[in-house]
Structures are given as C-alpha cells and as structure tokens.
C-alpha cells in the first residue's frame, strides 16, 4: 500500500478548480458575482472562441487594495466572511474564497484593479497559479480580469470542452441569468466582437426580460408579489396565452442568487396545469427574499443548489397564489362578465342512482309565467320548474351581450360592445363537468349510480394487480369495484356524472396511465385522470346542434366555474376577437 502524503499546493489548486470551474461559463459566473459584490453599476463581459481562449470581465466597482491583490489569489481568501458563524448570515454572492485561486490554477490571468481612493492601480499576472508579475499601473477604478487559455495545463479537462459555439452558448446563458435579476447594473456582453446584449441598468427587471428574452413577451407578463411569513416573492410570470416548448425559462432566485430547484419547477408547471396543454411551459422569473438564516447556501461549490427552510409549505403557498393570479389575469383579458349577465343557478337536485340530465329540450309544461314576480327592470320572470334546476332564469332579452348563435354546430358566438366571443361548446362543457365532479369529491358528496348490468372486465395479471392496488381509492371516487379471482374485476356502481361514459374504457385508460408513469396513482392523481377522461367523453360533442335554452344553460354553468377560461386539458374555452382584429382580416386597417 502506498504511503499517505500531503498533496502539494499546485495539485490541490487544480483539484479545487475542478469543484468550481468546469468550463468557461463557470469562470464568467464567478467573475460576474465578484463584480456584483464589489458594488459595481456597470459590468462588461467579452469572450472569444467560446471563452476558451479569451475572457474579459470589467467593472467599475470598489476595486482591490494594492496590499490585498496577491492575497485575493490564495485559496479560501475572502472579504465576505470572518468565521464559521458568518456562513449562516450570507447576503453576498461569493464567500468561499476559491474563485480566483481556482481560475488562476488552470489558465493565464491578468488582473488590473484600482480602488476609488488610490491614484494608481495594480496589475498582476498569473500563469498556472504562479505569480509572474506585479506592478503599479494607471487604470480606471474598478477591476478588469482577463483570462486566457482555459485548461491549457490540464489536457484531461480541456478535451471535455464542447465546440466553441456551444461553450459560447453556455456563457450567454450564465450572463443572462446574472443580468436578469441585477437590473440596477448595466451589463454588456460581447462575443467575438459582436454585441449580444446591453441593458440600461435603470433597475427595471421587466425591461431586462424584454431585452434578454425578446419583445414577443410584451403584454404577456404578469407582475406578481406575494408575502409568506417572513419571505417576500417578487417577479413575473407569463399569462396562459404564451408558452415555451421547454422549462428553460422557469428561473428562481433566492436573495438575488440564481438557484436550481426541480421542486420549484414542478410546482410552477403544476400551477399552470389545465391552463396550458401538455408540453407547453410558462416563463417565470421569481426572486424569493428571506432572512439569510432560513437558507443554507454552502451545500455545493458552485452555489447553484441551496437548502431552504420550510420549502414545501412555501412552494405550496406560492403555487396557489400563482394559480389565482393567472385566473384573475385571464378574467381581465376576456372581459366577458357573464356572471353579471345571467343570474347564478344553484341547488341542483341530485337523484341517487339516476343519471343527471345536463341538457334536455324543455317543453312548455316545464315553464310557468309568474305575472306577480318582476325583476328590477319591471320584466316578468320566467321560472324553470323542472330540468333538475329550481332557481329562476331571467328573460335573456335583458342581457348585456347579444347572442348570435351557433356555427358549425360547434362554436357559440356572442357579441358584446366591439368584441366577438367564440366559445367552444365541447371544451366549455368539459370544464363544467370537471369542476362539478371535483366539487362533489372534495365536499364528499359524490352521487353514485348503481349499474343496471355490472361491468365485468377481464384483465392481464399485471393490470389486475394495478387495479387491485387502487381499488380503495376508486371506491372514494364513487366506484364500487370487486376484484375476483382469475384476473377479473366487476364494476357495480360508478359516479352519476360519468354517465354515459364507457366504464371499461375508463378503467383501461387508468391502467395505461399507471403503466406509462410506472407509479401507483394516488387518490388525487386518480381523481384528476378520471375526471379529465370522463369529462372529455361525456361532454356535449362538436357538431351537435344546441337549442337556445341549452346554450344559455352552458353559459351559466361555465361562468360559475372557478377556472372558466380553459378546459381541463388546457385548451381555451373562450376566444375574444375585437372589431379591430376582424377589420385587419379585411385589410380595413
């Protein structure tokens, strides 16, 4: 066995560099964060050849005192903390004191720096971690660091670098992340002599988002501000009319520090569930400000991962508030307040073991004209005394919108002011059924229908085991299921609202969901999966002609939903077109 020995400083520095520096973008990140901590108001980043051959980061910050320049290149040399206890109270970007030592160990560095109260600055040159030159020099206040030939002395790491264009992409991503949140600093990024972006530094994060992500986001950002205990959450989220094809623009900062948190991204995607369709993702830039003792930033050398106290509760709250903000914004965008136009119809009579009639053309015998009862405008009211509803429906001629009718037996058209509203009858009814069943579940008032003929389903053994595992959960959702021998299940009752949905198809769809996800669905996941499928199958179909009373009923039900503007799959139920939009189609504008 070889003897244990202490490694020399050169080897230690190169190993340490591997923890912090794995590519040129890591260098750029560390240098930008140093400039931010130096109270800079202007930072310029320039790279050549993907940053492999050349990186320059300049700032107008505090600079480094002449006596501190060499110390700054020692390992674990920092001005950010004094002892272990300070780690629990960190508000600066850097604190580990490894960046300059690690960068110098695997590259060639020239540093020029001057503090505001010194006439002359200092220039030092390091090659492979060794000091080559130190001199006094005239230079602007602040710090400029030039890094060349990254990994020139560590070929094993150099060969793992990507093409120059790919490394440049990583640098741009890092610079963008740092620039977004630091809106009070003017950033400039130059790649191979070409300006990539420049920000104003006017402390306007929204403008930064447009500058960096593009002005196609204009009018699609919702500013948000939430408070949870001693945490404040600020930022922007995109509305449900805008989406990306990946999660790359879901960005979280904690105390202005960019962090990676998969649970945060999962929470964000969940908040948009049923508002965006599958494989559509929002843009979200959020900053959580909270006391430093509620987070641990010292869990990873790159500081990209942190531990957050009470994270689950905070994210649960945040997800709920984001959902509310989205729905509020959607309501403002549509601006069709049918809730004001049609009185709310409540107290639906539920009949156990009988399917609920959602639409049925009423006969004259189902109405009575109450001459003595008049509304506020003096118009007699028409009372609907059957069709499962017991509340009154005001004469629709008094409403604030004009009902144009149904086109293609699929879409309902309404005119209000100078806007045209197009309602997808299938998507709208899906939303109504989805929320109705959800409401029954959460109020523990699911109406069950005993099947006249039990549904007997023969399954493969592995599918039988899956259904057997979730039989209790299905029972809570309004099903009555027996699991027999020989891989057979018998469905004896099902939720009334699912009628006339094919029960066997539903069971097979649930099995397919579990096989695809490779996990046992819990009760809430089963609820969501069951009702989305059932609502889709049971909802009034496209190409079905609806009578006027059926259209009115659908509008009432839809506008009494909590989330009326999308179906459970995330497709819109209502689309608004202004007269200007229509005039543009005819080249009138």
pLDDT value at position 318?
A: 94
Count of other CB atoms within 10 angstroms of residue 127: 17
The secondary element (H helix, E strand) that includes residue 197 is strand 194-198
pLDDT value at position 297?
A: 67
pLDDT value at position 525?
A: 65
**87 burial type by CB count under 10 A (0-12 exposed, 13-18 middle, 19+ buried):** middle
Long-range contacts from 307-310, C-beta under 8 angstroms, 24+ separation: 308/254, 308/261, 310/229
pLDDT value at position 88?
A: 53
Integer angstrom CA distances of residue 304 from 20, 169, 177, 240:
11, 18, 12, 29
Q: What is the DSSP secondary-structure string of 310-357? A: THHHHHHHHHHHHHHHHHHHHHHHH---HHHHS-----PPP-TTS---
Q: How far apart are CA 130 and CA 104, in angstroms?
A: 8
Which H, E and C letters describe 127-171, residue by residue?
A: ECCEEEEEEEECCCCEEEEEEECCCCCCHHHHCCCCCHHHHHHHH
- Paired with 575 in beta bridges are 422
Query: HSE-up of 500 (CA within 13 Å, CB side)?
Result: 3
Task: Evaluate whether 492 touches 450 at the Cβ level (below 8 Å).
Answer: yes
Q: What is the model's pTM? A: 0.64
Dmax over CA atoms of the chain, in Å, equals 105
Task: Evaluate whether 52 touches 192 at the Cβ level (below 8 Å).
Answer: no
pLDDT value at position 215?
A: 81
Q: Are strands 307-308 and 284-289 parallel, antiparallel or unpaired?
A: unpaired
Query: HSE-up of 543 (CA within 13 Å, CB side)?
Result: 0
pLDDT value at position 187?
A: 96
Q: How far apart are CA 47 and CA 372, in angstroms?
A: 83
Positions of the chain with pLDDT under 70? 1-20, 76-97, 297-303, 305, 331-400, 497-501, 515-527, 589
pLDDT value at position 557?
A: 87
CA-based nearest residue to 191, from 175, 203, 202, 208? 175
Which residues lie below 8 Å from residue 450, measured CB to CB, with a gap of 6+? Answer: 353, 480, 492, 493
Q: How far apart are CA 146 and CA 373, in angstroms?
A: 85
pLDDT value at position 332?
A: 65
Judge if the upstream peptide bond of residue 19 is cis by omega within 30 degrees of 0: no
Domains within the chain, CATH numbers bracketed: 9-198 (3.30.565.10), 214-334 (3.30.230.10), 401-589 (3.30.1540.20)
Task: Evaluate whether 115 touches 127 at the Cβ level (below 8 Å).
Answer: no
Which residues lie below 8 Å from residue 420, measured CB to CB, with a gap of 6+? Answer: 413, 414, 576, 577, 578, 579, 582
Question: What tokens does 325 get?
Answer: 């903000």
State pLDDT tens for residues 35-68. Answer: 998 999 999 999 999 999 999 999 999 999 999 8
């Amino acid at each position: 066995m070889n003897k244990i020995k202490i490694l020399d400083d050169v080897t230690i520095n190169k190993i340490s560099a591997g923890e912090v520096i794995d590519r040129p973008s890591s260098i750029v990140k560390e240098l930008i964060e140093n400039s931010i901590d130096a109270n800079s108001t202007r930072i310029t980043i320039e790279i050549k050849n993907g940053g492999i051959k050349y990186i320059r980061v300049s700032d107008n910050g505090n600079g480094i005192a002449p006596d501190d320049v060499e110390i700054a290149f020692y390992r674990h040399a920092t001005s950010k903390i004094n002892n272990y206890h300070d780690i629990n109270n960190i508000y600066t970007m850097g604190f580990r004191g490894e960046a300059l030592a690690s960068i110098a160990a695997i590259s060639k560095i020239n540093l020029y720096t001057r503090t505001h109260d010194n006439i002359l600055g200092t220039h030092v040159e390091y090659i492979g971690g060794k000091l080559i030159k130190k001199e006094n020099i005239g230079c602007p206040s602040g710090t400029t660091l030039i890094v060349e030939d990254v990994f020139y002395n560590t070929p094993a790491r150099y060969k793992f670098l990507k093409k120059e264009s790919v490394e440049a992409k990583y640098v741009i991503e890092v610079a963008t992340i740092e620039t977004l949140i630091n809106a009070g600093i003017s950033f400039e990024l130059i790649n191979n002599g070409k300006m990539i972006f420049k920000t104003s530094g006017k402390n306007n994060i929204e403008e930064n988002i447009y500058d960096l992500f593009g002005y196609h986001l204009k009018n699609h950002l919702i500013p948000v501000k939430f408070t949870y205990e001693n945490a404040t959450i600020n930022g922007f989220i995109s509305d449900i009319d805008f989406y990306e094809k990946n999660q790359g623009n879901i960005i979280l900062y904690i105390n202005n520090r960019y962090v990676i948190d998969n649970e945060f991204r999962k929470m964000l995607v969940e908040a948009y569930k049923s508002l965006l369709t599958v494989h559509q993702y929002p843009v979200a830039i959020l900053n959580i400000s909270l006391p430093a003792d509620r987070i641990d930033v010292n869990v990873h050398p790159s500081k990209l991962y942190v531990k957050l106290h009470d994270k689950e509760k905070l994210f649960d709250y945040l997800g709920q508030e984001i959902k509310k903000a989205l729905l509020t914004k959607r309501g403002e965008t549509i601006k069709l307040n049918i809730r004001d136009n049609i009185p709310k119809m409540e107290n639906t009579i539920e009949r156990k073991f009988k399917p609920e009639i959602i639409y049925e053309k009423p006969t004259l015998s189902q109405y009575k004209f109450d001459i003595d009862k008049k509304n506020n405008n003096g118009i007699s009211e028409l009372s609907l005394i059957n069709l499962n509803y017991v509340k009154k429906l005001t004469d629709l001629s008094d409403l604030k919108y004009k009902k144009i009718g149904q086109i293609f037996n699929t879409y309902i058209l309404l005119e209000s002011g100078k806007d045209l509203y197009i309602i997808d009858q299938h998507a709208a009814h899906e939303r109504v059924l989805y929320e109705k069943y959800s409401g029954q579940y959460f109020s523990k008032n699911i109406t069950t229908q005993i099947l006249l003929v039990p549904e007997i389903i023969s399954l493969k053994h592995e599918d039988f085991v899956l259904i057997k595992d979730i039989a209790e959960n299905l029972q809570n959702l309004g099903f009555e299921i027996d699991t027999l021998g020989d891989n057979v299940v018998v469905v004896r009752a099902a939720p009334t609202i699912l009628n006339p949905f094919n029960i066997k198809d539903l069971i097979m769809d649930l099995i397919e969901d579990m096989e695809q996800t490779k996990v046992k669905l819990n009760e809430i996941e089963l609820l969501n999966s069951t009702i989305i499928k059932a609502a889709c199958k049971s909802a009034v179909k496209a190409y079905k002609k609806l009578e006027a009373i059926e259209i009115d009923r659908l509008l009432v039900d839809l506008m009494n939903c909590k989330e009326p503007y999308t179906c459970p799959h995330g497709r819109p139920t209502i689309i608004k077109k202004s007269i200007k939009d229509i005039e543009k189609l005819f080249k009138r504008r």
